Protein backbone atom coordinates (compact mmCIF):
# COMPACT_ATOMS: atom_id res chain seq x y z
CA UNK A 1 0.00 0.00 0.00
CA UNK A 2 1.11 3.57 -0.61
CA UNK A 3 1.27 4.46 3.10
CA UNK A 4 4.17 2.02 3.58
CA UNK A 5 6.31 3.63 0.88
CA UNK A 6 8.91 6.31 1.33
CA UNK A 7 8.58 7.29 -2.32
CA UNK A 8 5.16 8.93 -2.71
CA UNK A 9 2.68 7.20 -4.99
CA UNK A 10 0.68 9.81 -6.88
CA UNK A 11 -2.47 9.17 -8.87
CA UNK A 12 -2.74 11.26 -12.05
CA UNK A 13 -6.27 11.59 -13.43
CA UNK A 14 -6.33 11.73 -17.22
CA UNK A 15 -8.74 14.65 -17.52
CA UNK A 16 -10.98 15.22 -20.53
CA UNK A 17 -9.95 12.65 -23.16
CA UNK A 18 -10.46 15.21 -25.93
CA UNK A 19 -8.09 17.68 -24.30
CA UNK A 20 -4.34 17.87 -23.78
CA UNK A 21 -4.37 15.91 -20.51
CA UNK A 22 -3.06 12.61 -21.94
CA UNK A 23 -0.31 14.45 -23.82
CA UNK A 24 1.01 16.51 -20.91
CA UNK A 25 0.87 13.47 -18.61
CA UNK A 26 3.06 11.43 -20.94
CA UNK A 27 5.48 14.30 -21.50
CA UNK A 28 5.72 14.95 -17.76
CA UNK A 29 6.28 11.28 -16.98
CA UNK A 30 9.06 11.15 -19.58
CA UNK A 31 10.69 14.33 -18.22
CA UNK A 32 10.63 13.08 -14.63
CA UNK A 33 11.67 9.49 -15.32
CA UNK A 34 14.88 8.53 -13.56
CA UNK A 35 15.26 11.83 -11.75
CA UNK A 36 16.21 11.83 -8.10
CA UNK A 37 13.20 12.08 -5.75
CA UNK A 38 10.75 11.42 -8.57
CA UNK A 39 7.47 9.98 -7.26
CA UNK A 40 5.83 6.79 -8.46
CA UNK A 41 2.87 7.50 -10.75
CA UNK A 42 -0.29 5.67 -11.69
CA UNK A 43 -2.58 7.16 -14.34
CA UNK A 44 -6.31 6.92 -13.68
CA UNK A 45 -8.08 7.00 -17.02
CA UNK A 46 -8.49 5.21 -20.32
CA UNK A 47 -5.64 2.92 -21.37
CA UNK A 48 -6.56 2.96 -25.07
CA UNK A 49 -6.68 6.77 -25.15
CA UNK A 50 -3.29 6.99 -23.44
CA UNK A 51 -1.77 4.48 -25.87
CA UNK A 52 -3.20 6.32 -28.87
CA UNK A 53 -1.72 9.57 -27.57
CA UNK A 54 1.67 7.90 -27.14
CA UNK A 55 1.45 6.54 -30.69
CA UNK A 56 0.79 10.04 -32.08
CA UNK A 57 3.57 11.66 -30.06
CA UNK A 58 6.19 8.98 -30.64
CA UNK A 59 9.52 10.03 -29.16
CA UNK A 60 11.08 8.75 -25.94
CA UNK A 61 7.90 8.11 -23.95
CA UNK A 62 7.28 5.51 -21.25
CA UNK A 63 5.58 2.25 -22.10
CA UNK A 64 2.06 1.90 -20.70
CA UNK A 65 0.63 -1.09 -18.86
CA UNK A 66 -2.65 -1.90 -17.18
CA UNK A 67 -2.80 -1.82 -13.38
CA UNK A 68 -5.60 -3.05 -11.15
CA UNK A 69 -6.59 -1.32 -7.91
CA UNK A 70 -5.69 -3.38 -4.88
CA UNK A 71 -2.68 -5.01 -6.53
CA UNK A 72 -0.40 -3.13 -4.17
CA UNK A 73 3.04 -2.31 -5.54
CA UNK A 74 3.43 -2.50 -9.29
CA UNK A 75 6.37 -3.50 -11.41
CA UNK A 76 7.67 -0.30 -12.99
CA UNK A 77 9.72 -2.39 -15.39
CA UNK A 78 6.45 -3.17 -17.17
CA UNK A 79 5.90 0.51 -17.85
CA UNK A 80 3.82 3.40 -16.58
CA UNK A 81 0.72 1.88 -14.96
CA UNK A 82 -2.79 2.92 -16.01
CA UNK A 83 -5.79 2.11 -13.85
CA UNK A 84 -8.68 1.67 -16.29
CA UNK A 85 -11.92 3.30 -15.16
CA UNK A 86 -14.57 2.23 -17.67
CA UNK A 87 -14.02 2.16 -21.41
CA UNK A 88 -14.61 4.93 -23.88
CA UNK A 89 -15.71 4.64 -27.49
CA UNK A 90 -13.16 6.02 -29.99
CA UNK A 91 -15.59 8.83 -30.84
CA UNK A 92 -15.15 10.19 -27.30
CA UNK A 93 -11.36 10.27 -27.41
CA UNK A 94 -10.85 12.33 -30.58
CA UNK A 95 -8.55 15.25 -29.73
CA UNK A 96 -10.33 18.58 -29.91
CA UNK A 97 -13.81 17.04 -30.10
CA UNK A 98 -15.30 17.01 -26.59
CA UNK A 99 -18.35 14.88 -25.79
CA UNK A 100 -20.67 14.35 -22.86
CA UNK A 101 -19.37 10.80 -22.55
CA UNK A 102 -15.81 12.08 -22.35
CA UNK A 103 -16.75 14.65 -19.70
CA UNK A 104 -18.51 11.96 -17.67
CA UNK A 105 -15.44 9.75 -17.94
CA UNK A 106 -13.21 12.60 -16.72
CA UNK A 107 -15.61 13.08 -13.80
CA UNK A 108 -15.28 9.38 -12.97
CA UNK A 109 -11.49 9.51 -13.02
CA UNK A 110 -11.49 12.29 -10.43
CA UNK A 111 -13.99 10.48 -8.22
CA UNK A 112 -11.96 7.26 -8.32
CA UNK A 113 -8.70 9.07 -7.61
CA UNK A 114 -10.21 10.90 -4.65
CA UNK A 115 -11.60 7.69 -3.18
CA UNK A 116 -8.25 5.96 -3.57
CA UNK A 117 -6.53 8.84 -1.78
CA UNK A 118 -9.10 8.73 1.02
CA UNK A 119 -8.51 4.99 1.41
CA UNK A 120 -4.76 5.57 1.71
CA UNK A 121 -3.96 3.87 -1.58
CA UNK A 122 -2.38 7.07 -2.92
CA UNK A 123 -0.18 9.65 -1.24
CA UNK A 124 -1.50 12.43 -3.44
CA UNK A 125 -3.59 13.24 -6.48
CA UNK A 126 -2.66 15.24 -9.59
CA UNK A 127 -5.57 16.13 -11.84
CA UNK A 128 -5.23 16.83 -15.56
CA UNK A 129 -7.64 19.44 -16.96
CA UNK A 130 -11.39 19.00 -17.19
CA UNK A 131 -13.73 21.39 -18.96
CA UNK A 132 -16.34 23.08 -16.78
CA UNK A 133 -18.76 23.69 -19.64
CA UNK A 134 -18.74 20.08 -20.80
CA UNK A 135 -18.84 18.80 -17.24
CA UNK A 136 -22.08 20.70 -16.75
CA UNK A 137 -23.44 19.65 -20.15
CA UNK A 138 -22.98 16.06 -19.01
CA UNK A 139 -25.01 16.74 -15.86
CA UNK A 140 -22.19 17.07 -13.34
CA UNK A 141 -22.79 20.48 -11.84
CA UNK A 142 -19.53 21.49 -10.22
CA UNK A 143 -17.56 24.67 -10.95
CA UNK A 144 -14.31 22.74 -10.94
CA UNK A 145 -12.09 20.09 -9.41
CA UNK A 146 -11.85 21.69 -5.98
CA UNK A 147 -15.58 21.80 -5.37
CA UNK A 148 -15.98 18.17 -6.46
CA UNK A 149 -13.07 16.94 -4.36
CA UNK A 150 -14.27 18.85 -1.30
CA UNK A 151 -17.68 17.20 -1.58
CA UNK A 152 -16.22 13.71 -1.95
CA UNK A 153 -13.88 14.27 1.00
CA UNK A 154 -16.50 15.98 3.15
CA UNK A 155 -14.19 18.99 3.57
CA UNK A 156 -16.08 21.90 5.12
CA UNK A 157 -13.23 24.41 4.99
CA UNK A 158 -11.14 24.37 1.86
CA UNK A 159 -9.49 26.91 -0.40
CA UNK A 160 -7.81 27.10 -3.77
CA UNK A 161 -4.16 28.03 -3.82
CA UNK A 162 -1.80 28.72 -6.69
CA UNK A 163 1.96 28.43 -6.54
CA UNK A 164 4.85 29.15 -8.85
CA UNK A 165 8.58 29.47 -8.47
CA UNK A 166 8.22 32.92 -6.94
CA UNK A 167 4.72 33.29 -5.53
CA UNK A 168 2.21 31.35 -3.44
CA UNK A 169 -1.32 32.78 -3.38
CA UNK A 170 -4.40 31.45 -1.57
CA UNK A 171 -7.86 32.77 -2.48
CA UNK A 172 -10.72 33.63 -0.11
CA UNK A 173 -13.29 33.44 -2.93
CA UNK A 174 -12.87 31.68 -6.27
CA UNK A 175 -15.39 31.04 -9.05
CA UNK A 176 -17.95 33.75 -8.27
CA UNK A 177 -18.90 36.98 -9.98
CA UNK A 178 -17.26 40.12 -8.64
CA UNK A 179 -20.63 41.52 -7.50
CA UNK A 180 -20.95 38.62 -5.03
CA UNK A 181 -17.46 38.87 -3.55
CA UNK A 182 -18.14 41.57 -0.90
CA UNK A 183 -21.00 39.49 0.57
CA UNK A 184 -18.73 36.45 0.80
CA UNK A 185 -15.94 38.24 2.64
CA UNK A 186 -16.37 37.64 6.36
CA UNK A 187 -13.96 37.57 9.26
CA UNK A 188 -14.28 33.80 9.33
CA UNK A 189 -13.67 33.22 5.61
CA UNK A 190 -10.61 35.46 5.61
CA UNK A 191 -9.24 33.94 8.83
CA UNK A 192 -9.82 30.39 7.63
CA UNK A 193 -7.87 31.13 4.44
CA UNK A 194 -4.95 32.54 6.41
CA UNK A 195 -4.95 29.52 8.72
CA UNK A 196 -5.19 26.95 5.91
CA UNK A 197 -2.31 28.62 4.07
CA UNK A 198 -0.17 28.76 7.23
CA UNK A 199 -0.88 25.10 8.01
CA UNK A 200 0.10 24.05 4.48
CA UNK A 201 3.35 26.01 4.51
CA UNK A 202 4.30 24.60 7.92
CA UNK A 203 3.25 20.97 7.62
CA UNK A 204 3.86 20.21 3.95
CA UNK A 205 6.60 22.66 2.94
CA UNK A 206 8.42 22.66 6.31
CA UNK A 207 8.47 26.46 6.67
CA UNK A 208 8.66 26.76 10.45
CA UNK A 209 7.13 30.24 10.76
CA UNK A 210 5.63 31.27 7.43
CA UNK A 211 5.15 34.96 6.75
CA UNK A 212 1.74 35.67 5.26
CA UNK A 213 0.62 38.93 3.70
CA UNK A 214 -3.10 39.62 3.36
CA UNK A 215 -4.36 41.84 0.55
CA UNK A 216 -7.06 44.43 0.95
CA UNK A 217 -10.22 44.34 -1.12
CA UNK A 218 -10.56 47.97 -2.21
CA UNK A 219 -8.10 50.27 -4.00
CA UNK A 220 -5.31 51.39 -1.67
CA UNK A 221 -6.68 48.90 0.92
CA UNK A 222 -9.63 51.21 1.44
CA UNK A 223 -7.71 54.35 2.44
CA UNK A 224 -8.96 54.03 6.02
CA UNK A 225 -12.57 53.71 4.91
CA UNK A 226 -12.55 56.28 2.12
CA UNK A 227 -12.96 53.68 -0.63
CA UNK A 228 -14.83 51.02 1.30
CA UNK A 229 -14.93 49.50 4.77
CA UNK A 230 -14.19 45.80 4.12
CA UNK A 231 -10.64 46.32 5.35
CA UNK A 232 -11.75 47.91 8.63
CA UNK A 233 -14.70 45.63 9.37
CA UNK A 234 -13.57 42.28 7.97
CA UNK A 235 -9.97 41.89 6.83
CA UNK A 236 -8.05 43.67 9.60
CA UNK A 237 -9.96 41.84 12.38
CA UNK A 238 -9.24 38.51 10.64
CA UNK A 239 -5.53 39.36 10.47
CA UNK A 240 -5.52 40.26 14.19
CA UNK A 241 -7.24 36.96 14.97
CA UNK A 242 -4.58 35.09 13.03
CA UNK A 243 -1.86 36.93 14.87
CA UNK A 244 -3.57 36.01 18.12
CA UNK A 245 -3.14 32.30 17.42
CA UNK A 246 0.53 32.66 16.54
CA UNK A 247 0.42 33.14 12.76
CA UNK A 248 2.87 35.68 11.33
CA UNK A 249 0.25 37.54 9.28
CA UNK A 250 0.28 41.16 8.14
CA UNK A 251 -2.14 43.43 6.31
CA UNK A 252 -4.40 44.39 4.78
CA UNK A 253 -2.00 45.79 2.20
CA UNK A 254 -2.75 47.68 -0.99
CA UNK A 255 -3.36 45.07 -3.71
CA UNK A 256 -1.70 47.09 -6.47
CA UNK A 257 1.69 47.12 -4.71
CA UNK A 258 1.56 43.81 -2.83
CA UNK A 259 3.52 41.93 -5.49
CA UNK A 260 6.33 44.39 -6.08
CA UNK A 261 9.54 42.49 -5.51
CA UNK A 262 13.17 43.34 -4.96
CA UNK A 263 15.23 40.87 -6.95
CA UNK A 264 12.39 38.32 -6.75
CA UNK A 265 12.16 38.72 -2.99
CA UNK A 266 8.58 39.53 -2.02
CA UNK A 267 9.18 39.60 1.72
CA UNK A 268 6.60 36.90 2.47
CA UNK A 269 6.11 33.16 2.05
CA UNK A 270 2.48 33.27 0.95
CA UNK A 271 -0.25 35.77 0.15
CA UNK A 272 -4.01 35.77 0.71
CA UNK A 273 -6.07 37.42 -2.03
CA UNK A 274 -9.75 38.27 -1.69
CA UNK A 275 -10.83 37.12 -5.16
CA UNK A 276 -9.67 35.17 -8.18
CA UNK A 277 -8.15 37.78 -10.49
CA UNK A 278 -6.69 39.87 -7.68
CA UNK A 279 -4.11 37.24 -6.92
CA UNK A 280 -3.83 35.29 -10.14
CA UNK A 281 -3.11 38.11 -12.58
CA UNK A 282 0.22 38.67 -10.84
CA UNK A 283 1.06 34.99 -10.53
CA UNK A 284 0.14 34.03 -14.08
CA UNK A 285 1.90 37.07 -15.53
CA UNK A 286 5.10 36.09 -13.77
CA UNK A 287 5.08 32.35 -14.37
CA UNK A 288 2.14 30.98 -16.33
CA UNK A 289 4.01 27.93 -17.65
CA UNK A 290 5.08 26.85 -14.16
CA UNK A 291 2.01 27.67 -12.08
CA UNK A 292 0.33 24.93 -10.07
CA UNK A 293 -3.19 24.81 -8.65
CA UNK A 294 -3.78 23.00 -5.36
CA UNK A 295 -6.62 22.57 -2.93
CA UNK A 296 -6.03 23.39 0.73
CA UNK A 297 -8.11 21.72 3.42
CA UNK A 298 -8.45 18.25 1.88
CA UNK A 299 -7.29 15.18 3.84
CA UNK A 300 -4.91 14.38 0.98
CA UNK A 301 -2.55 16.30 -1.29
CA UNK A 302 -4.08 17.49 -4.57
CA UNK A 303 -2.48 19.56 -7.33
CA UNK A 304 -3.13 20.25 -10.98
CA UNK A 305 -1.53 22.17 -13.84
CA UNK A 306 -2.82 25.70 -14.09
CA UNK A 307 -4.28 25.50 -17.59
CA UNK A 308 -7.34 24.13 -19.30
CA UNK A 309 -8.14 21.41 -21.80
CA UNK A 310 -6.84 23.46 -24.77
CA UNK A 311 -9.06 21.69 -27.30
CA UNK A 312 -7.65 23.92 -30.04
CA UNK A 313 -4.19 22.31 -29.88
CA UNK A 314 -5.15 18.85 -28.60
CA UNK A 315 -3.65 16.13 -30.76
CA UNK A 316 -1.09 18.41 -32.37
CA UNK A 317 1.77 17.53 -30.04
CA UNK A 318 2.27 21.22 -29.22
CA UNK A 319 1.07 21.16 -25.59
CA UNK A 320 3.55 22.52 -23.04
CA UNK A 321 3.96 20.08 -20.14
CA UNK A 322 5.83 22.48 -17.84
CA UNK A 323 2.84 23.10 -15.58
CA UNK A 324 2.07 19.37 -15.31
CA UNK A 325 5.71 18.66 -14.46
CA UNK A 326 5.54 21.34 -11.77
CA UNK A 327 2.23 19.95 -10.46
CA UNK A 328 3.69 16.45 -10.08
CA UNK A 329 6.87 17.75 -8.45
CA UNK A 330 4.94 19.95 -6.02
CA UNK A 331 2.56 17.12 -5.11
CA UNK A 332 5.53 14.86 -4.41
CA UNK A 333 7.13 17.46 -2.16
CA UNK A 334 3.89 18.12 -0.30
CA UNK A 335 3.14 14.40 -0.01
CA UNK A 336 6.49 13.78 1.64
CA UNK A 337 5.54 16.39 4.21
CA UNK A 338 2.10 14.82 4.54
CA UNK A 339 3.51 11.36 5.32
CA UNK A 340 4.36 10.43 8.91
CA UNK A 341 7.88 11.61 9.67
CA UNK A 342 9.18 8.03 10.00
CA UNK A 343 8.10 7.33 6.41
CA UNK A 344 9.52 10.44 4.74
CA UNK A 345 12.41 10.18 2.35
CA UNK A 346 15.69 11.32 3.81
| DSSP character string of 140-174 | ---SSHHHHHHHHHT-SS-EEEEE-SS-EEEESS-
% of the chain exceeding 70 in pLDDT = 92
Delineate the domains of the chain, giving CATH numbers in brackets.
Answer: 1-155+298-346 (3.40.718.10), 158-296 (3.40.718.10)
Q: How long is the chain?
A: 346
Specify whether the CB–CB gap between 305 and 326 falls below 8 A: yes
Provide the pLDDT confidence category of residue 7 given band limits of 50, 70 and 90. confident
Higher pLDDT, 261 or 112: 112
- Phi/psi for 308 (5° steps) reads -100, -160
What is the C-alpha separation between 243 and 252, in angstroms, rounded? 13
The model's pLDDT over 207-254, given as tens digits with 9 standing for 90+, comes to: 999 999 999 999 999 888 889 999 999 999 999 999 999 999 999 999
Choose between 52 and 265: higher pLDDT.
52
Burial of residue 209 (number of CB atoms within 10 Å: 0-12, 13-18, 19+): exposed
Helix (H) / strand (E) element for 332: namely: helix 322-338
Spatial contact of 317 and 23, defined as CB atoms under 8 Å apart: yes
Measured distance CA(76)–CA(83) in Å, rounded = 14
Per-residue pLDDT, 265: 79
> How many C-beta atoms surround the C-beta of residue 172 within 10 A?
29
**pLDDT tens for each residue of 122-175:** 999 999 999 999 999 999 999 889 999 999 999 999 999 999 988 999 999 998
What would the pLDDT profile of 294-345 be if each residue is shown by its tens digit? 999 999 999 999 999 999 999 999 999 999 999 999 999 999 886 443 334 3
The 10s digit of each residue's pLDDT in 277-305 is: 999 999 999 888 889 999 999 999 999 99
Indicate whether 4 pLDDT > 50. Answer: no
Q: What pLDDT is recorded for position 86?
A: 85
pLDDT at 1: 43
Is pLDDT above 90 for 5? no
Burial of 133 (0-12, 13-18, 19+ CB in 10 A): exposed
pLDDT at position 67 is 85
Answer whether residue 346 shows pLDDT above 60: no
The Cα 340–Cα 346 span in angstroms is 12
Q: Give the Cα separation of 225 and 168 in Å (integer).
A: 28
CB 149 within 8 A of CB 126: no
H-helix or E-strand spanning residue 295: strand 292-296
Q: How far is residue 104 from each of residues 30, 133, 138, measured CA to CA in Å? A: 28, 12, 6
Amino acid sequence: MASAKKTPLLGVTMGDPAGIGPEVILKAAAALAGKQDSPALVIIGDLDAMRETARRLRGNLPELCEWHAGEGCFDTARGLPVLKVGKLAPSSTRPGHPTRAGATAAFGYVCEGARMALRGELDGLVTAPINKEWLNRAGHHFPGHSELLAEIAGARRWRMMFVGRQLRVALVTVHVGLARVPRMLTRSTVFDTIRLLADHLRSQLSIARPRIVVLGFNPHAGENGLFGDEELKVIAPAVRRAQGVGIDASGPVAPDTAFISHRRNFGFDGAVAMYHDQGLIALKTLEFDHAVNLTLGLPFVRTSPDHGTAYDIAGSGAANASSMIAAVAYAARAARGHLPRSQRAA
